Structure 1
Amino acid sequence: MTDHAPQPVERQLPSEEAGELLSLVRDIARREIAPRAAEQEESGTFPRELFALLSASGLLGLPYDSEYGGGDQPYEVYLQVLEELAAARLTVGLGVSVHSLACHALAAYGTKEQRAARLPAMLGGGLLGAYCLSEPASGSDAASLHTKAEREGEGWRLTGTKAWITHGGIADFYTVLARSGGPGAKGVTAYLVPADAEGLSAAAPERKMGLKGSPTAQLHFDGVRIGEDRRIGKEGQGFAIALAALDSGRLGIAACAVGLAQAALDAALGYVAERRQFGRPIGDFQGLRFLLADMATAVEAGRALYLSAARRKDAGLPFSRQAAMAKLLCTDNAMRVTTDAVQVFGGYGYTADFPVERYLREAKVLQIVEGTNQIQRMVIGRQLLGPESR
């Protein structure tokens, strides 16, 4: 079978600059990401050199202030960049989203001195970040984390274990949420920890069904000492910082899910364009056309929802509920679209000779990360019924 080149997604962008940015991203995706995606995922290779290229191209700090090396791009544009990257390889799109999440605390809550000292290197200096909230015994229940932060002299001492950390063991810095006070959400504080801090180590990466090129590992903090200047925000403000970051991060996951679903749809359309059965192109069969129509509708619906939420964020409006809705719908749709793409390919779809089986395995994790989809439903329901609901 010959290669089928998918048509670029028709996008409504807010500026000519945004259009040029998306063209650059598509060019990098086509030349640098997609050609090696299948091989590197199979071998479990993380493309660190590619992230250096993305950093040098200004793509790791797009939604942040240009004063500190960011791109001054609205979320509406940044998320569409993520979508394009994820369509080429989810490891890359998700990696950029996680890096942006790791920069959020410092960018939004750091002092001017902290931002000036560290943010330029994080946004455009080739560094890679990770976000440390989950623990072995506290995933969805983030307010019950146990990693301790204790005052020691002029700084802090961190002890505990973080789990399910994307880029764990390969990142240059970690945004860490740790318990500095009493129980519950009010006892959590945020810290920025360098990867070379003494006492910080990573376990072997988890063995996952998908996203094998993106390392996920536990991190162990064995009395890690950091200075007071690495505390982000006020003491006890960490949980609020985490929630604010997760609202934005959920939009990143939604965009990545749409990119993955778009890739699966494109692959299915390419296969249908060439495959013949019973002396006819299989695209002539109404049952298959209906399946493709449902897939395309799911992709478009997800894109419209995450962009609507992003525009609320850009306008300074509340968007927490809309972010949860976008994460829920886009990731559920990605699971359905990738499953249907395998069905379109028939037996071939179940083999590693075609990318759709990988897309299916990758889609599953998007229903889990940044808060499971059951958690998203809780967030949405609570906001619909008011703060008194449980």
Structure 2
Amino acid sequence: MRKYLIITICILFANIAQAANGDEWLKQAVIARRADIVTKAQWAMQQQPVTVTVASSPRSAGGIHDFYSEGDYWWPNPASADSPYIQKDGQTNPDNFVAHRQAMVRFSRVVGALAAAYVAEGKKEYLEHARKHILAWFVNADTRMNPNLQYAQAIKGRATGRGIGIIDTVHFIEIAQALRIMEKAGVLKDADLAAVKSWFAEYLRFMTEHPYGKDEMNAKNNHGTCWVMQVAAFSSFLQDKKWTDFCINRYKEVLLPNQMAGDGSFPQELRRTKPYGYALFNLDAMATVCQILSTPGNDLWKYTADAGKTIGKGIAYMYPYVEDKGKWPFAKDVMYWDEWPVAHPFLLFGAAAYNNENYFRLWQKLKHDPEVEEVLRNLPVRNPEIWMVKL
């Protein structure tokens, strides 16, 4: 038994070292989360593709291949059932149509889990199963999703879709990263890879040219951050230097200087009715931007904006409130206060960027497998290990 255990550990180290060129933080992360990675991969291997074509809403202005969602915080007007919906910030309407978003989150969970298992164990069967889901969503004529979000975050009586709906595809960023791993592993046929890249190229055009995309890019809070995070992930998969460079400049010139206060907080998030959850979400997204775009010659982890603003300062600001939520100096979130924090990727990315063991230990002990839908919706990076692989 002991001999078998030693052999298993040696194989594990060999696979991780091959995947990451010996990156010590990736090794530690995979070893710390190995049981979770294996469990999720076993679940993912049993899942079959479910795309937007399996469900529809009579309120959608789109067709069967169009993604549709409704604004989370919009409710029927009690004064009149036929009047336009009214807003209740931070309070999710449980009667909204969410089937497409649930399918997208499930897709991300499946493919992300399989990619993480490949990073940990080096077995191509994980990626081969992920391929089935990739083809169903992006290639197969009967089941593919159209590459736009014209009907996302609709509001009854007010809008058939909105720019802020683009945030729904944050769950495609781990798909894009998994695709980079799959491309390097050679598990996609040339024609299939070309078709998938064509889908993402068209969606990137929608995000950067459609009025909805431009509106989202210019959002001054987490929506603007998530636009950059998505464009960074998709353009990296496409090797589109024009847009990766744009995102680097956007981070330096807009996101960091305009969203962060001098103490490392995000005032636009703190003024919301769920300040804790939104602060965590925006920090995760901004840290992921740094993880995607940083290179040895252009390290965003070290970039300093005006008043000494750095992503490191943002992590240092939130760290004590993640370690002990009871110290949070602002109002409690109106919903889901008890569900946060979880194993936020900014902790692992920050540990690696700043060689900080405290960040790593906190990430290690927090919950890595949340099941609450609201948490999953606001945690697009669930497998941070796949973002630490050298590609």
Is the structural similarity TM-score above 0.5? no
TM-score (norm 2): 0.25
Higher normalized strand content (fraction of residues): 1
Higher normalized helix content (fraction of residues): 2
TM-score (norm 1): 0.25
